[in-house]
Amino acid sequence: MAVRRTDYILKRILFAVMTVFVAITINFVLFRMMPGDAISNLSRVPHATPALRAELAKEFGLDKPMWQQYLIYLQQLVHLNMGVSWVEQQGQPVWQLLRNRLANTIPMAALGTSVAIVIGIASGVVSAWRRNSAADYVSTNVAIAFYAFPTQWLALMVLIIFAGVLPSYGMHDVFSMQMGRWQSYLDAFKHMLLPSLTFALTLFGEYTLIVRSSMLETLGEDYVLTARAKGLSSWGVVRGHATRNAMLPTTTLIALSLGYIVAGAILIEAVFSWPGIGMLTYSAVIHQDYPVLQGCFLVLTMSVIFFNLLADLLYVKLDPRINE
């Protein structure tokens, strides 16, 4: 049993490491194939002399062959050096920008995702437990509706409905001066509520539908019928036997959602002007700031790979068949 478990864990870790290498390589090649760079963007500047462009090409390493650029890229990544921004606070290191924006995105997205997980799992379990009841129809249809709504439309609706009640722009009130630490935290939390609510409404529908489907499949298994035959109540069967086994696909979905927390919802942050990594990605796309964009894509990829690996490792605890 221990050998099988160790073999499973090692295979998953090896696969994650290989995926990281492939993602890093694609991230390098993709942005080298896109039009525009730090040098070509200077064509719009009247005083950009050939000497200046040549000096910048040397500074950014764009005068070297592609394979040398790739080796330098890998070497710099080891030291968390992702280059400097061409536009956003020009000359600032990309990793510093990403770190500052992540500190804004993670609390907002984590709050919304946590609410979505709790509501989605609860409504999915109730829908499966009370199948074909009024609660099931209401819960399922509401979940389908919110799952189908475009993210930007949902964000605009939340903005229109609650803009007069809660702060709806940025992270802090620009007219508040000399706030204390706790007052600043409270102000940031108030500004966080609307984008977090949009996050929760966007995600909870898929949680509800996945949990309901998985629960219905689990409730038809033989061991559940045996538990009912032993005289256990319906809720006892759901809580003690069905829920844990129905969590496998839900675990994968949660892991994917947690991975995307790091990137934030670009459209949500754009609507509410939340200064997170999603807004940074949006700005980098608009201004063709490829070092920043490359850094954002790399962070997103690494987070998704990490949380998928975490989900695979959790399967060891959730699914006893892995140890057989």
Residues 231-268 have pLDDT tens digits of 777 767 776 667 777 777 777 777 777 776 666 578 88
Q: Nearest-CA neighbor of 291 among 21, 20, 37?
A: 37
Residues of the chain with pLDDT under 70: 1-3, 34-49, 52-53, 55-63, 86-91, 174-178, 235, 239-241, 260-264, 318-324
Residues 310-324 have pLDDT tens digits of 888 877 776 666 655
State the DSSP code for 320: G
Single pTM value for the model: 0.77
CB 127 within 8 Å of CB 208 = yes
C-alpha dist (Å) from residue 66 to 16, 141, 319:
26, 52, 46
What's the pLDDT score for residue 247? 74
C-alpha dist (Å) from residue 185 to 111, 128, 166, 199, 216:
15, 40, 15, 20, 43
Nearest 5°: phi and psi at 84?
-125, 155
What's the pLDDT score for residue 194? 92
Residues 13-50 have pLDDT tens digits of 899 889 888 888 888 887 777 665 555 554 444 456 67
**Structural domains of the chain, ranges and CATH numbers in brackets:** 99-311 (1.10.3720.10)
State the DSSP string of 68-111: HHHHHHHHHHHTT---B-SSTTTT-BHHHHHHHHHHHHHHHHHH
Q: Nearest-CA neighbor of 157 among 187, 201, 204, 107?
A: 201
CB 241 within 8 Å of CB 227 = yes
What's the pLDDT score for residue 20? 87
